[in-house]
Structure 1
Amino acid sequence: MQMFETTTFTTERLRMRPLTALDAAALFEVFSDPEVMRYWSCAPWTELKQADEYIDNATQDLAAGSMLRVAIEVAASGKVVGQLALHHFDEQNRRCEIGYALGRAAWGKGYMTEAITSMLDHAFAELPLNRIEADVDPRNAASMQALARLGFVHEGLLRERWIVAGEVCDTAFYGLLKSDWDARPR
């Protein structure tokens, strides 16, 4: 079991830290936006209490060491603009999945690449993981491009994996190995 309670990552522009109850409004803003949630595996949130429940679950999972979910906060303003998570840990095989969401106002600024890079550095050096996987709707070109820039390899397509609000969706499956991460140009 991992221990994540005090895990915080910082970059020049961002701070990734455990979610708190004070983040509910900012997370609701992200997860209630239909554009942000277009390729997510659930429908947009409709009530603030969904953010409260999400944070409660994230706090419990963090304490149990079953998931590392952090807020993405812009250092200069303190504004939470998204979230990033490592989840579905398989300790025997030293792998997990990565998931992320970023509010529309923060798109196109390089925040997600910066946040994921920091998380991957930690995951491969400290946890230690050998493989990280990502599940992306193949219509989400921006997410697939971000993963490719980070060195993730497209490994296949899982047809009709999700049904979200009655819409059947495929999954593009990506993987990143520690050896690939360590060998990347810096």
Structure 2
Amino acid sequence: MSATLPDVLSTRRLVLRPFHRDDATALFGIFSDQQVVRFWSAGAWTEIGQAERMIEEAMLAYRGGGLSRYAITLRATGELIGICNLRGFFEQNRRCELGYALGSAYWGRGYAGEALEALLGHAFEALGMNRIEADIDPRNDASARLLERLGFRQEGFMPERWIVDGEKADTAFYGLLKRYWDERALARSSLAAAG
């Protein structure tokens, strides 16, 4: 992986860009929200330093590779509304892991799907990935539906993988292969041509 800043990705309504230090307040607002972290692998943030550390981790990784963390921002205003990232790169196997979170005020508007569509396309085309993995809490129906709309397939289940704020939580594992992505794109273009 390149040791430079990740490419800026643009969609109709969004811009996915590298994090800056001045994003800490907006990032803290997202991860201090109990609704956002309900099915996350850690509890709600309680201090701005947690946001600063996440941004510092991203900035270090931009220099050294291994993590492509993006701020999801609204194209019209520049407001930071979420994050998405690719991490855990295994270059030999052309595989990585996907993560994402969106501020609860922006749920239900299609922003997460729009952002991840751009990120996954970038991962498969520009970065040459063959496989992208995601793990979610199986109680998170919205996230499961999102992954399935994007072409992910559930591949496994691990009970009590996490303990967050004293609560045991399971993991559902999902995988997306480049060929699934290509088949999905072909099916969508065929539907568009027929319509």
Answer whether TM exceeds 0.5 for this pair: yes
1:61-76 matches, cutoff 5 A:
61-76=61-76
Residue 170 of structure 2 is aligned to residue 173 of structure 1: no
- Is 1:151 the counterpart of 2:167? The answer is no
Give 1:4 shift: 4.4
Would the aligned equivalents of 1:136 and 1:144 in 2 still touch at CA under 8 Å? yes
Contact residue 6 and residue 62 of structure 2 kept, 8 A: no
CA drift at 1:145:
0.3
1:27 maps onto 2:3 in alignment: no
The whole-number CA distance in structure 1 between the counterparts of 2:135 and 2:115 is 18
**Normalized per residue, which structure has more helix?**
2
How many pairs does the alignment contain? 186
**Which residue of structure 1 lines up, in the alignment, with residue 36 of structure 2?**
36
Kept in 1, the 8 Å contact 2:73–2:81? The answer is yes
The amino acid across from 1:136 in the alignment is I
Residues of 2 paired with 1:25 and 1:81: CA distance? 12
What's 1:58 paired with? 58
Structure 1 unmatched runs, 5+:
none
- C-alpha distance 96-82 of structure 1, shift in aligned 2 (>3 A): same
Contact 1:134 1:173 in 2 (8 A): yes
Consecutive unaligned residues of structure 2, counting only runs of 5 or more, are: 189-195
CA contact (8 A) 1:3 1:62 kept: yes
Query: What residue in structure 2 maps to residue 118 of structure 1?
Result: 118
The percent identity for this pair of structures is 52
1:6–1:132: structure 2 CA closer, same or farther, 3 Å change rule?
closer
Aligned to 2:8: 8
Deviations for 1:15-56, whole angstroms, at most 9, x for unmatched residues? 000000111111000000011000000011000111111101
Q: Classify the secondary structure of the residue corresponding to 2:78.
A: coil
Structure 1 position 140 matched with structure 2 position 136: no
Question: Which amino acid in structure 2 is aligned with residue 160 of structure 1?
Answer: E
SS in 2 for 1:35: helix
Normalised to the residue count of structure 2, the TM-score between the two structures is 0.93
The structure whose Rg is larger is 2
* Structure 1 pair 98–88 and aligned structure 2 pair: CA distance change class (3 A): same
Match of 1:88 in 2: 88
Could you tell me which residue of structure 1 aligns to residue 193 of structure 2? none
Q: Residues 175, 22 of structure 1: CA spacing in aligned structure 2 closer, same or farther, 3 A cutoff?
A: same
